Amino acid sequence: MDKDLVSTQTPPVTRFTHCIFQEDWWLEAVAPGAWQAIVIGSGHDTQARLPFVHSRGALLSTIRQPFLTQFMGPWYRPTSGKISSSLGREKELANELFAQLPACDFFSMNFHPSITNWLPYYWMKYEPVPRVVYVLEELGTEAMLWDGLQPNIRREIKKAEKRLEVVRSDDLDLLVELTRKTFDRQQMDLPYSPQTLHRVDAACAARKARQIYFARDEHQRIHAAMYTVFDDRCAYYLLGGADPALRNSGASSLLVWNALLDAAKTSASFNFSGSIHEGIERFLRAFGGQQKTYMNVRRANFKAAIALKLRDAVRTVRGVD
């Protein structure tokens, strides 16, 4: 064969995920040895993929996403052509994927916002519950990012810059301490284990896929902390916390601002996560992100439905949302 006809270019790597949370290494960090994936096709001909974690408790078996994992759900190979054909293909693939899931009492997953067609899951007797995130689709320049901020956030950043410095550090235990204080203030338990966070951090650090921020004053007091994870597609506000005694310093706004500036160097977009809590939603919205809807897709049998109602009743009595 003529050597000039032989391609020496490396074939592009095909990604079978929508986001960092669906990558094999992330799943192994948050659910070591406990996750599985249903795959239709193989290699570069993979058409669909559904990672999941199936656990069996004393009373209930569940399929749900692990803590610190914002999105899971299915991935479908993008196609071109008529929209009607694409929707029909997605329905067929969804039916094939979900038919292979093990039986469980309760199923719950947050689908990536790119999954907008919820009808196939509704027809399979799942309940799609809409939720909201804020996303900056194009990070652009520093001037563009600053222009997108609400005036109150700009004032907080300017105020904080006069009193605080932003420190990038690997001190994961200090981050946990700050986030624990935030949940203690709300009379809530820390929703993840420090051990899981340490595994996630080790996996992300090895891939240069995370950053830890602290806001510190001249007296070495830490006002707030923030943890982001990222790849070239998107950076995510994974978690954060603040000292309740120092909450009015503007530290949290300053940290998000610095995270946006860093993300513009590594990623195409920034996901602020989301919250149904009005105050948190107002804070995240003020950074100029576009509101996007994603679906929490769930299904519970009778036994699980009773257990969930009892759990909600206990939380109401305890004053936990």
Domain locations along the chain: 3-131+295-318, 139-267
Sign of CA dihedral 98, 100, 105, 108: negative
More confident residue, 133 or 311: 133
Cα–Cα distances (Å) from 167 to 52, 53, 200, 221, 255, in that order, read: 36, 36, 21, 12, 9
Give me the CATH code for the 139-267 domain, please: 3.40.630.30
Q: How far apart are the C-alpha atoms of 264 and 257, rounded to whole Å? A: 11
- Percent pLDDT > 70 in the chain is 92
- Which of the four pLDDT bands, split at 50, 70 and 90, describes residue 5? very low
Mean pLDDT, to the nearest integer, of 192-218?
A: 96
Q: How far apart are the C-alpha atoms of 251 and 124, rounded to whole Å? A: 46
pLDDT in tens, 130-179: 999 999 999 999 999 999 999 999 999 999 999 999 999 999 999 999 99
Cα–Cα distances (Å) from 7 to 2, 15, 45, 179, 231, in that order, read: 11, 22, 21, 52, 29
- Residue 318: per-residue pLDDT: 54
pLDDT in tens, 65-98: 999 999 999 999 998 889 999 999 999 999 999 9
Non-local CB neighbours of 148 within 8 Å, separated by 6+ positions: 136, 287, 288
CB 224 within 8 Å of CB 251: yes
CB 19 within 8 Å of CB 233: yes
pLDDT in tens, 223-251: 999 999 999 999 999 999 999 999 889 99
Average pLDDT, rounded, for the chain? 90
CATH topology of domain 3-131+295-318: Aminopeptidase (3.40.630)
Mean pLDDT, to the nearest integer, of 31-41?
A: 96
Identical topology for domains 3-131+295-318 and 139-267:
yes
